[in-house]
Amino acid sequence: MQNDPIEHLISLLSRLPGLGRRSARRAVLKMLMDPADKMLPLADALRAAADSVRPCEVCGNLDAASPCHICDDPHRDRRLVCVVEGVADLWALERAHAHRGTYHVLGGLLSALGGTGPEDLSVTPLLRRIEANGIEEVILALPATVDGATTNHYLTDRLKPTGAAITRLAQGVPIGGALDVLDDGTLAAAFKARRAL
């Protein structure tokens, strides 16, 4: 029943994860009380992020710079690379201050049902990084699911010839749970208690 611009905005917002139609309506109404201060900065921030953020050419993290600020940080231990399924998990580990090395975003997990094979994952770039940069330990921080375990096995086989130590997070990670919804303490503890495969 509302005219174009309001309804259009509500329906775009309500597609965001975590925002239903009701919350989207409430958010739009709140922003419309002070559009210059609430809507235009958000529009600018969306545009700035869309224009500047891209995947890091080294690790696959999303950042305004490539190499990203983590790959570019001289205080990071480059001999330690942590393999994650996606950027959400990378961010979660960063929030937990769990890792002082660098990352590698795999871009998914092996999945027979989902039809994801090794060629869909960033495995060859990982092998190249390990060989080119003298990486000493590869920490597999994949979820404790069937697909995560399958991917752990596969990566262990593929990475063994490099001579790097291969570890995975301690079983403090709940079975079937996603990494990025865990509290920081659990994540940090599981990280610390990682063990050799």
- Interface with its own copies (CB under 8 A): 1-6, 8-9, 12-13, 16-20, 22-32, 35-36, 39-50, 52-53, 62-65, 68-69, 87-88, 91, 94-95, 181
Task: Find which of its own copies, Zn ion, none residue 12 binds, CB within 5 to 8 Å per kind.
Answer: its own copies
CB 63, min distance to its own copies, A: 6
Measure the CA–CA gap between 61 and 106, rounded to whole angstroms: 10
Q: Label residue 113 exposed, middle or buried (CB < 10 Å: 0-12, 13-18, 19+).
A: exposed
Q: How many residues form the binding site for Zn ion (CB under 5 A)?
A: 6
Contact 172, 189 (CB under 8 A): yes
- Show the binding pattern over residues 8-47: x = contacts Zn ion (CB under 5 A), - = does not: ----------------------------------------
β-bridge partners, 82: 103, 139
Interface residue with Zn ion, options 61, 151, 152, 167 (CB under 5 A): 61
Interface residue with Zn ion, options 9, 27, 28, 59 (CB under 5 A): 59
**Which residue, 105, 112, 21, is CA-closest to 60?**
105
Tell me: does residue 106 bind Zn ion (CB under 5 A). no
The conformation of residue 116, written as its DSSP 8-state character, comes to B
Q: Label residue 78 exposed, middle or buried (CB < 10 Å: 0-12, 13-18, 19+).
A: middle
CB 53, min distance to its own copies, A: 6
β-bridge partners, 89: none
Nearer to Zn ion, 102 or 167 (CB): 102
Tell me: does residue 173 bind Zn ion (CB under 5 A). no
**Which residue, 173, 170, 193, is CA-closest to 183?**
173
Task: Find which of its own copies, Zn ion, none residue 4 binds, CB within 5 to 8 Å per kind.
Answer: its own copies
Residues that bind Zn ion (CB under 5 A): 56, 58-59, 61, 68, 71
